[in-house]
A and B are shown apart, each in its own frame.
Chain A
Amino acid sequence: DGGITQSPKYLFRKEGQNVTLSCEQNLNHDAMYWYRQDPGQGLRLIYYSQIVNDFQKGDIAEGYSVSREKKESFPLTVTSAQKNPTAFYLCASSRTGPANTGELFFGEGSRLTVL
């Protein structure tokens, strides 16, 4: 089955700790994204990558970091510099170029809670 796998589904972190969320896709998509969902605010773009070894900041990149060493993988690190890290994090992927319809394919999400 093709799809996007995020892990872990639930994660608890103490203040001051970094944590890395995993995102793997087997859809052969070039582009991958990280969104954050907070109540009443919809989905906000953290980082996105259109190709391996390249990524761009989204609207709320402060306190986050990413890497794109492989086409299938786009891990997100929530650093201690992120002031309000408790949220639901969504990874997505899409085609690029003429085949891209604008549609994003989302994973099931990771809920991070900072204690």
Chain B
Amino acid sequence: DQQVKQNSPSLSVQEGRISILNCDYTNSMFDYFLWYKKYPAEGPTFLISISSIKDKNEDGRFTVFLNKSAKHLSLHIVPSQPGDSAVYFCAATLIQGAQKLVFGQGTRLTINP
């Protein structure tokens, strides 16, 4: 049972344009969400997070949007840069600080020059 789903295995975007990565979840009890970025043969690194009491969180070129009624979150990257090419994982947890993150399958983002 996949509680966190990233239905797009891959996404290709032109440099300078907006990249939008999507994530859906099924457990309405999740109330804290995170995005991680992963390069090949490396561990994931934390990118941005959002609490369920918010619908938007921004950090530089990265913005995460949360739609609780739709159980959907998205990561926007504007403008996209070649260094953004990586696999992006969304993750969810029940309470901030809880120890178990549930990860999606990941989306491979490729930024084309």
Interface residue? B101 (CB, 8 A): yes
B43 touches A107 (CB 8 A): yes
A31 touches B49 (CB 8 A): no
Complex: A97 Cα to B74 Cα, angstroms: 28
Partner of B105, one of A42, A94, A109: A42
Interface residue? B42 (CB, 8 A): yes
Of A62-70, A71-79, A98-106, the stretch lying at the interface with chain B is: A98-106
B97 touches A98 (CB 8 A): yes
By a CB distance below 8 angstroms, the chain A residues around B46 are 103-105
Q: Name the CB-closest residue of B to A44.
A: B103
Interface residue? B69 (CB, 8 A): no
B97 touches A96 (CB 8 A): yes
Question: Contacts A102-B34, A103-B49 given: A108-B105 contact, CB under 8 Å?
Answer: no
Complex: A86 Cα to B101 Cα, angstroms: 22
Question: Contacts A90-B43, A108-B41 given: A43-B103 contact, CB under 8 Å?
Answer: yes
Interface range on chain A (Cβ under 8 Å from partner): 20 to 34
Complex: A4 Cα to B44 Cα, angstroms: 12
By a CB distance below 8 angstroms, the chain B residues around A90 are 43-44
Q: Name the CB-closest residue of A to B5.
A: A42
- Chain B, residues 31-44, CB within 8 Å of chain A (1/0): the string is 01010000001111
Complex: A50 Cα to B97 Cα, angstroms: 11
Complex: A65 Cα to B34 Cα, angstroms: 28
By a CB distance below 8 angstroms, the chain A residues around B45 are 106
Interface residue? B25 (CB, 8 A): no
B9 touches A108 (CB 8 A): no
Interface residue? A84 (CB, 8 A): no
By a CB distance below 8 angstroms, the chain A residues around B96 are 100-102
A97 touches B97 (CB 8 A): yes
Interface residues of chain B, those whose CB is within 8 Å of chain A, are 4, 6, 9, 32, 34, 41-46, 49, 89, 91, 93, 96-101, 103-106
Listed A/B pairs (10) with beta-carbon separation below 8 Å: A41-B105, A42-B4, A42-B105, A48-B100, A96-B99, A101-B96, A103-B34, A108-B41, A108-B43, A111-B41
